[in-house]
Structure 1
Amino acid sequence: MRTHLPYKKTRKTVGASIVAIGLSAALCLPGCSTSDATSADTASVSGSSVSSDTTTASSDVVSAADIAGMDFEYTDRDQDSTYDEASATHVALSQSGSTVEGSGAVVDGSTVTITDEGTYIVSGELTDGQLVVETDDTVKVQIVFDGVTIHNEDGPAVYIKQTDKCFITLADGSKNTLTDGAEYVLEDDSDEPYATLFSREDLTINGSGALSVTSSYRHAVCSKDDLVITGGTYTVDAVEDGLRGRDCVKILDGTFSVVAGGDCIKSNKGTDEVRGFVSIDGGTFNLVAGDDGIQAVTYLRVTGGTVVIDAADDAMHSDLDALISGGDITINAGDDAVHAETSLAIDGGMIDIQSCYEGYEAEKLYINGGDTHIVASDDAINAAAAETPADKAAAEASSTSASDSAADGAATAEDPDAAGGEPPTGEGATTDGAAIADGEMPSGPDGADVATGEVPAMPEDGTAPTGEAPTGGMGPGGGSFGGSNEESSERMQNGGMPDNAFAEGGATMGDENCLIQITGGYTVLEADGDAVDSNGYVEITGGVLLVSGPTSGGDGAFDYDLSATITGGTVLMVGSTGMAQNFTSGEQPFSFNTISGSANQSVAITDEEGNVLVSYTPTKQFGMVLASSPAFEEGGTYQLVVGGAVSGANADGYTDAGAVSGGIATEITASTTATGGMGGLGRGGGGMPAGQGGDVQRGMR
Structure 2
Amino acid sequence: MKHQSPLRRRLSAAVAASAALIVLGACGTSNDEASNASATTSAVASLASLDDTHADTNDGEYDVDDATRIDLADGASSASGSGADAVRTTGDLVTITAPGTYLLSGELTDGQVVVSSSADGKVKLVLDGVSITSTTTSPLVVEESDETVVILADGSTNTLADTATARATDESADESSDEESDDPNATLFSRDDLTIAGTGTLRVAGNTNDAITSKDGLVILSGTIEVTSVDDGIRGKDYLVIEDGTITVDAQGDGLKADNESTETSSGKAKELGWFQLDGGTVTIDAGDDGIDAEGALNVTAGELTIASSVEGLEARQITLAGGTVDVTASDDGLNATAGNGGEAVQDGVLLSLAGAEVTVAAGSDGIDSNGNAVLSGGSVTVHSAARGGGDGSIDVNGTFDITGGTLVATGGLSGAPSADSDQGWVVASLETTVATGQQLEVVDAEGTTVASHTATQETSSLIVSAPGIEAGATYTVRAGAAGELADVATATANEYAGGFGGPGGGRPAGGPGGGSDSGPGGERPEGMGTPPEGWTPPDEMGTPPEDWTPPEGMEPPARQ
Alignment TM class, shorter chain as reference: 0.5 to 0.7
Cα 1:222–1:603 change in 2 (3 A) is same
Q: 2:118·2:146 contact (CA, 8 Å) conserved in 1?
A: yes
1:82 lines up with 2:63 in the alignment: yes
Hey, what does 1:422 align to over in structure 2? Answer: none
Q: Secondary structure at the match of 1:314?
A: coil
- CA offsets, 1:570-622, max 9 Å, x none? x45454xxxxxxxxxxxxxxxxxx64343244332334654321222335665
**Could you tell me which residue of structure 1 aligns to residue 352 of structure 2?**
365
| Deviation readout 1:216-256 (Å, 9 max, x if unpaired) | xx411111111211223111110211111111111121112
Distance in 2, Cα, partners of 1:371 & 1:233: 28
- Identity, in percent, stands at 29
Aligned mates of 2:280, 2:140 — CA distance in 1:
30
**Structure 1, unpaired ranges of 5+:** 1-42, 196-217, 269-275, 385-513, 551-555, 576-593, 646-660, 697-701
Q: Is residue 2:226 matched to residue 1:265?
A: no
* CA distance 1:121–1:302, change in 2 (3 Å): closer
Instruction: Answer yes or no: is 1:332 the counterpart of 2:308.
Output: yes
Aligned partners of 1:545 and 1:163: how far apart in 2? 47
Say if 2:421 is the partner of 1:565: yes
Aligned-partner Cα distance in 1 for 2:411–2:221:
37
Q: Post-superposition shift, 1:172?
A: 3.6
Structure-1-length-normalised TM-score: 0.56
What amino acid is aligned across from residue 243 of structure 1 in structure 2?
I
Whether the 8 Å contact between 1:379 and 1:527 is mirrored in structure 2 is yes
- Aligned residue for 1:511? none
- Give 1:583-602 correspondences, 5 Å limit: 595-600=432-437, 601-602=439-440
d(CA) in 1 for partners of 2:224 and 2:182? 26
Counterparts of 1:641-656 in structure 2 under 5 Å?
A: 641-643=479-481, 645=483
**Residue identity opposite 1:305 in structure 2:** G
- Superposed CA RMSD: 4.1
Q: Tell me the TM-score normalized by structure 2.
A: 0.68
One-letter identity of the residue aligned with 1:257: E
Deviation per CA, 1:123-162, whole angstroms, max 9, x where unpaired?
4444444444444523444444444444444444344444
Once the 2 structures are TM-superposed, how far is the Cα of residue 300 of structure 1 from its aligned partner?
1.4
Is 1:521 aligned to residue 379 of structure 2?
yes
2:7/2:243 contact within 8 Å kept: no
**Is there any run of 5+ residues in structure 2 with no aligned partner, and where?**
16-35, 260-273, 338-349, 388-392, 522-561
Distance 1:665 1:171, change over 3 A: closer
Residue 692 in structure 1 maps to residue 517 in structure 2: yes
Say if 1:326 and 1:348, in contact at 8 Å, map to a contact too. Answer: yes
Determine helix, strand or coil for the equivalent of 1:49: helix
Which residue among 276, 300, 306 is the counterpart of 2:282?
Answer: 306
Q: Which of 598, 606, 614 is matched with 2:444 structurally? A: 606
Tell me which amino acid in the other structure corresponds to 2:211: G
Instruction: Judge which range, 116-125 or 372-381, deviates more.
Output: 116-125
The 3-state SS of whatever aligns with 2:451 is: strand
CA contact (8 A) 1:156 1:193 kept: no
- Distance in 1 between residues matched to 2:135 and 2:506, nearest whole Å: 68
Partner of 1:496: none
Q: Is the 8 A contact 2:48 2:277 kept in 1?
A: no
- SS of alignment partner, residue 326 of structure 1: coil
Matched-pair contact (CA < 8 Å) for 1:129–1:157:
yes
- Which amino acid in structure 1 is aligned with residue 423 of structure 2? T
Tell me which amino acid in the other structure corresponds to 2:424. G
1:58 partner SS: helix
Shift of 1:631: 3.2
Residues 74 and 611 (structure 1 numbering): CA distance in 2 closer, same or farther, change over 3 Å? Answer: same
Partners of 2:448 and 2:100 in 1: CA distance: 74
Change (3 A) 1:359 1:687: closer
Q: CA deviation at 1:266?
A: 0.9
Within 2, Cα distance between the matches of 1:229 and 1:77? Answer: 11
C-alpha spacing 1:310/1:528, structure 2 compared with 1 (3 Å):
same
Q: Could you tell me how far apart the structure 1 residues matched to 2:511 and 2:131 are?
A: 71
Instruction: Judge conservation of contact 1:137–1:162 (CA < 8 Å) in 2.
Output: no
Q: Which of 207, 228, 248 in structure 2 is aligned with 1:286?
A: 248
Give yes or no for the alignment of 1:538 onto 2:401: yes
2:201 maps to 1:222: no
Q: Secondary structure at the match of 1:368?
A: strand
SS at match of 1:568: coil
Which aligned pairs between 1:371-450 and structure 2 lie closer than 5 A? 371-384=358-371
* CA distance in structure 1 between the aligned counterparts of 2:76 and 2:498, rounded to whole angstroms: 83
Change (3 A) 1:183 1:627: closer
Give the direction of change, closer, same or farther, for the CA distance of 1:234–1:364 in structure 2 (3 Å limit). same
Deviation at 1:626, TM superposition (A): 5.5
Aligned AA (1:518): L
Q: Distance in 1 between matches of 2:150 and 2:497?
A: 65
For residue 236 of structure 1, the aligned residue among 204, 207, 222 is 204
Whole-angstrom distance in 2 between the partners of 1:610 and 1:142: 65
Partner of 2:80: 101
Cα separation, partners in 2 of 1:572 and 1:221, compared to 1, 3 Å? farther
The one-letter code of the counterpart of 2:325 is M
CA distance in structure 1 between the aligned counterparts of 2:308 and 2:460, rounded to whole angstroms:
26
SS, match of residue 59 in structure 2: helix
Residue number in structure 2 paired with 1:322: 298
1:45–1:73 CA contact under 8 A, matched in 2: no
Residue of structure 1 in register with 2:528 after alignment:
none
In structure 2, the CA distance between the partners of 1:135 and 1:639, relative to structure 1 (3 Å rule), is closer
